[in-house]
Amino acid sequence: MPTETSAQSLSVKRAEVEWHNFASFGQPERALQVYAEENARRGELIRGFREFIGPVTPFLEIGAAAGHSSYMLVNEFDAPGFALDLSADALRHGVHLMDAWKLQRAPVRVAGDAANLPFRDGSLKMVMACQMLSQFLGMERVFEEVKRVLAPGGIFLFAEEPLKRLLTLRLYRCPYYETMKPWERTLFDWGLLGYFVRDVIGAHQEESYGIRQNHTMGVKEWHEMISRHFDDRQYRIFVPERGWGERIVKRLAMRLDSHRSEWRAAKLLGGTLAAACRKAGVPSDVPFDIGRFEDLLRCPDCHEGLRRDAEDVLLCSCGYRAGNEGGVYNLLPSAEKKELYPGDSEDLIDFCLPSHQQRLGEGWHELEGVFGNKYRWIGPRATAHLKRMRQGPLRIRIRGLAHEVSFGHGDQPRIEVKVNGGSVGQWTLDRTGLFLLEADVPEAADYEVEVLAEPIWEVPEDSRRLTVVLSMLRLVPRE
């Protein structure tokens, strides 16, 4: 049986928290547009399953990101519930959703681990997950947790999960469309790129960032796992039809299918799966008072119940506590919370923390960005100071972004990192967008970090000399 630790490693969890903090690169309008499009798609899916699903209060969305789909359930479907994500900062962006969309109500927002849900047994009517199960190499552990927290007859609704594609050479990971090279975009538009790449669009960038993804599940494997845990189910399959290269094969596969369904096409071309899965047992109402939402929660450390005091702090008899921090209760296990949310620490330069400037040296331009997504441009050289705060071998982890303008000056961006005077790594970036650099560092108590980057470029009416964007430097344990 999969264990909590095998479902997702700590390094992957760290990467996911950091990814959500910076992925939008200061483009809240674009993010809102994407969220609105996803909600329209997911709302239509829920209505299609509505008779099978039945009542959904109280619900929990796992892997909720900013919680936009949870806001939809609360406001559009009049269904109080919870939004849970590993990233507390992503959930805190919900306040911007409420302002932009003029929303009146919000879900209860909880930072937590889908493989160790901080909810009591049988406490929820529906659990929803969108585009998140494939980020668990041991996703069956998530199924076990979902089944545990669902009441008898409760529903697990998941959507937008990738189906393994048979017709592909699996040559390399697929990037996001906006970071594709011109020839890749042409093949994509013709419906031919999928015959060469390994995974769904975007996997390249997330994998390079440290997020491990499970794209090994075909229709048969999904059905077998669902059947092991749930008593009944309904499916919706979405097969891509990008250009003539996929359209022809899809139509031929459907014509050869005895039921004229998309199942055969899904095996050949992949796509995504949505499923509504019912837990065994007789359905019944689950009492829920939003004013006493803590009655449904349990301590992530000892699994006992939680109470809430007059200061809006969740407390457990074992000593665990989680306050309301910007509208989010962080209910990760204590050890994970300490690692993923170290706060102000001398081995971390997080540009979202006001104290980060104390550890910066030369070469940094002014702070830019929005909450949870702040960054600084650098010139050809920038320096910083980090201090060892733990025992054992360490690596330096640097998060940044290569702007598309960087690639318009004849050469690909190149970065070298020196630590205490010695080079620990050199990288050539081949695509625009987010990047993550990691390298081992020598044993020392203090670390003088030097980041060298080129080519240098300028923009009209801006006197700054620019190379790349950086948003975080951190010392992490080698794993």
Q: Which residues contact residue 391 at a Cβ distance below 8 angstroms, ignoring those fewer than 6 apart?
A: none
Least confident of 45-54, 259-268, 301-310: 259-268
Provide the percentage of residues in the chain whose pLDDT is more than 70.
Answer: 94
**Interval 36-53 mean pLDDT:** 95
241-278 confidence digits (pLDDT tens): 899 999 999 999 999 988 888 889 999 999 999 999 99
Q: How far apart are CA 396 and CA 155, in angstroms?
A: 43
Per-residue model confidence (pLDDT) at position 324: 95
Q: Which residues contact residue 475 at a Cβ distance below 8 angstroms, ignoring those fewer than 6 apart?
A: 347, 348, 386, 388, 389, 390, 394, 395, 396, 397, 441, 447
Per-residue model confidence (pLDDT) at position 1: 36
Q: Scanning the structure block, which residue is given the tokens 């022809």?
A: 248
73-85 confidence digits (pLDDT tens): 999 999 999 999 9
Kind plus residue range of the DSSP H or E element containing 111: strand 108-111
2.60.120.260, 1.10.3720.10, 3.30.1330.30, 1.20.1090.10: which CATH number matches 348-477?
2.60.120.260
pTM for the structure as a whole: 0.86
**pLDDT surpassing 50 at residue 368:** yes
* DSSP β-bridge partners for residue 124: 150
Radius of gyration of the chain (CA): 23
CA 342 remoteness from chain centre: 19
Least confident of 66-75, 131-140, 206-215: 206-215
391-409 confidence digits (pLDDT tens): 999 999 998 888 888 887 6
3-state SS assignment for residue 56: coil
399-453 confidence digits (pLDDT tens): 888 888 888 766 789 999 999 999 999 999 988 888 889 999 999 999 999 999 9
Mean pLDDT of the chain: 90
Q: How far apart are CA 167 and CA 218, in angstroms?
A: 12
| Better pLDDT: 408 or 302 | 302
**Interval 464-469 mean pLDDT:** 93
* DSSP β-bridge partners for residue 364: 378
Q: How far apart are CA 163 and CA 467, in angstroms?
A: 39
**Interval 144-152 mean pLDDT:** 97
Q: How far apart are CA 117 and CA 299, in angstroms?
A: 9
Supply the CATH classification number for the domain 4-168+212-278.
3.40.50.150
Angle at 458 between CA 455 and CA 464, to 5 degrees: 105
**pLDDT surpassing 70 at residue 201:** no
Least confident of 21-30, 248-257, 286-295: 21-30
For 327, which DSSP code? Answer: T
Per-residue model confidence (pLDDT) at position 401: 87
**pLDDT surpassing 60 at residue 311:** yes
Q: How far apart are CA 203 and CA 455, in angstroms?
A: 27
Residue 134, phi-psi category: left (phi > 0), alpha (psi -120 to 50), beta (remainder): alpha
Q: How far apart are CA 62 and CA 119, in angstroms?
A: 12
Q: What is the DSSP string of 213-230?
A: ------HHHHHHHHHHH-
